Amino acid sequence: MQDGTTAEERRGLLKNILYGALALAALPLPWLGWKFLKPQVQRRKLAPLDIGAAADFSAGSYRRISYGDRPVGILRSAAGELRAFDLRCTHANCIVNWNRESEFVCPCHGGRFDAEGRVNLLPPEKPLLRLDIAEREGRVILRDEEYSTAADQI
Ligand code: FES
């Protein structure tokens, strides 16, 4: 070939093209590695749980139950509203206790949450998770649907 390039230049060009193609092919490797190594545990949703007659939950009452592996506090406010909380503290997962003076208190670092699950005292920065709870035909039914009380908190 007489186009002014030497065989060595052509070899260098081919080598650069080959390395470029290999680099492009390697781009998705970190993502594939993450997909492969990342835990694939998916929590199965629990069936709704009948936790008793609505009449057994008087105003101001509190009851602690287990729902799957989750400790749940059921609170009936003075106004009659039922509330269900995941009792794992949003700071480091210790189990909070209802102190019957309208606060959940964490035994680990002293975090406190009000009767709606909002943070009253740090270190937790997020409110307690709430679960869906409702009265149906005179029964109290807990469902595996969670939501945050105050997503905008801190
Ligand atoms: S785990 Fe609850 S305040 Fe730290």
User: Order of strands, edge to edge, in the sheet holding 70-76?
Assistant: 49-53, 139-148, 129-136, 82-86, 70-76, 62-67
What is the whole-number distance in angstroms between the Cα of residue 108 and the centre of ligand 1?
Answer: 5
Tens of pLDDT, residues 87-120? 999 999 999 999 977 899 999 999 999 999 999 9
Pocket of ligand 1 (CB under 6 A): 89, 91-92, 94, 106, 108-109, 111, 123-124
Tell me how far the alpha carbon of residue 144 lies from the centroid of ligand 1, in angstroms: 24
Please state, in angstroms and rounded to a whole number, the distance separating the CA atoms of residues 70 and 93: 11
Q: What does the domain layout of the chain look like in residue ranges?
A: 7-37, 49-148
Cα(103)–Cα(118) distance, integer angstroms: 10
- Domain spanning 49-148, CATH class: mainly beta
Q: What is the pTM of this model?
A: 0.70
pLDDT in tens, 4-53: 788 888 888 899 999 999 989 988 888 887 777 776 666 788 899 999 99
Alpha carbon of 50 to ligand 1 centroid (Å):
30
Confidence label for 150 from pLDDT (cuts 50, 70 and 90): low
DSSP H helices in 27-118: 29-37
Residue 31 DSSP SS3: helix
Cα of 67 to ligand 1 centre, how many Å?
Answer: 21
